[in-house]
Amino acid sequence: METTAAGLGAKLIDPVVRLWQRLINIGVQPSLTDWQRKRVHLLNGISAVTIAIYAGYVLVFFNSPDYMTFRICLFGVFLNLPPFFFNYYHRYDAAAYYCALSVTVLCSFIAIARKYDGVEYYLISNSIVPMLFFRNFWKIFVLFCVNVAAFFAVRHGMTVIEPFLYVPNSQYFYKANVLLCFLTLFVVVYYFRLENFRQEQMLTEKNETLERSLENLQNTQTRLVQQEKLASLGALTAGIAHEIQNPLNFVDNFSEVGLELVQELRDEPGPRVAVGARPGGRRPAHRRFNPDPAESERARRPGRQHREKHAAALAHQQRPAPAHRPQPPGRRIPALGLPRLAGQARRLYRRPFHRL
């Protein structure tokens, strides 16, 4: 039973909602800003609600003896149609001016022409309605002054002009008009309140988004600084290794040449001299060199080791950078064995040449 009632209610409400959406979107263009789109919705919505109220009065007083109220309400229905046409042809400012000034003229005329029934109080609520349609202070101020001046002019005119559209035994709408005036004020103020809440919510969301973006930028900056430091350290390591490699290659090549010369001197035939004898105070040339090849091999070993380390450093530098892993605070970046490499090169340079 409840499901059937809900389905019936949805069938009755959906056409009304679709009609309302079509009415408030008359004249809306994709190029309009958010505020301009809201203004068009407000203009169309106010005109649609006002037409609905006047149409209700027209139905109520259709067969009533108070024909003057019926005619005024029917005139009010047609009076609120032009904003739709202005918005349809993209004359948004004209629609806003018309919506504000038409209420001023109509309420002033009815308040003077009919018996005192509180219509002039609509001028009070209508004095703040332009705040919904305009942002320029002077436009809002001028329309406010026009409505205030019309209110006091009507109050004065009611004392000197006799009602000429009054029908005897007509309905007395003083309480209804005062109630509608307060209701209009409440709706306008409540709309501003909703807009303030919506703006505060949007501002809060934007602040949170900016905070997250700032945090991401700071993390990215930190990663970029670390990667730049690592890249600079890698370039420095490659440069030092390259500078060390040049003298090592020279020493290694010279040691090979020296070994070949030693071998040639050893193979060269010379005079036999007894062990310990020193004719002329000097030994033969092939006896003045170390005949042990292992010693020369030990001299060449550091050069090969440093060449291998240099090749490994270059290969490490050419590899793609791994994914970023956050380092714990206080952890130092390893020095890639530079002190050890420099120490070995220093010891190699200090080795006496005759040991080769």
Q: Name the domain count of the chain.
A: 1
Q: DSSP secondary-structure letter at 351?
A: S
How many angstroms separate the most distant Cα atoms in the chain? 161
d(CA 308, CA 252): 13
What pLDDT is stored for residue 355 in this prediction? 46
Report yes or no on 328 lying in a domain.
Answer: no
Considering the entire predicted model, what is its pTM?
0.59
Token couple for 91: 């004359």
What number is the average pLDDT over the span 243-254?
A: 68
Above 50 in pLDDT, residue 110? yes
Report yes or no on 107 lying in a domain.
Answer: yes
More confident residue, 318 or 178: 178
Report yes or no on 10 lying in a domain.
Answer: no
Per-residue b or e along 219-256, where b marks 16 or more CB atoms closer than 10 Å to that residue's CB: eeeeeeeeeeeeeeebeebbebbeebbeebeebbeebe
Report yes or no on 69 lying in a domain.
Answer: yes
End-to-end Cα separation, the chain, in angstroms: 108
Report yes or no on 238 lying in a domain.
Answer: no
Report yes or no on 244 lying in a domain.
Answer: no
Above 80 in pLDDT, residue 27? yes
Domain containing 69 equals 15-172
**In a 3-state reduction of DSSP, which class is residue 135?**
coil
pLDDT in tens, 146-177: 999 999 999 888 888 888 777 666 666 788 88
Q: How confident is the model at residue 315 (pLDDT cuts 50, 70, 90)?
A: low
Q: What share of the chain is helix, strand, coil (3-state, %, to 5)?
A: 75, 0, 25
Report yes or no on 168 lying in a domain.
Answer: yes
Above 50 in pLDDT, residue 335? no
What pLDDT is stored for residue 349 in this prediction? 47
What number is the average pLDDT over the span 24-51?
A: 90
Average the pLDDT over each of 68-82, 159-173, 229-243, 313-327 and give the range with the smallest value: 313-327
Report yes or no on 124 lying in a domain.
Answer: yes
d(CA 353, CA 290): 12
Find out whether 123 and 63 touch, Cβ atoms under 8 Å: no
Q: How confident is the model at residue 88 (pLDDT cuts 50, 70, 90)?
A: very high
pLDDT in tens, 199-215: 889 899 999 999 999 99
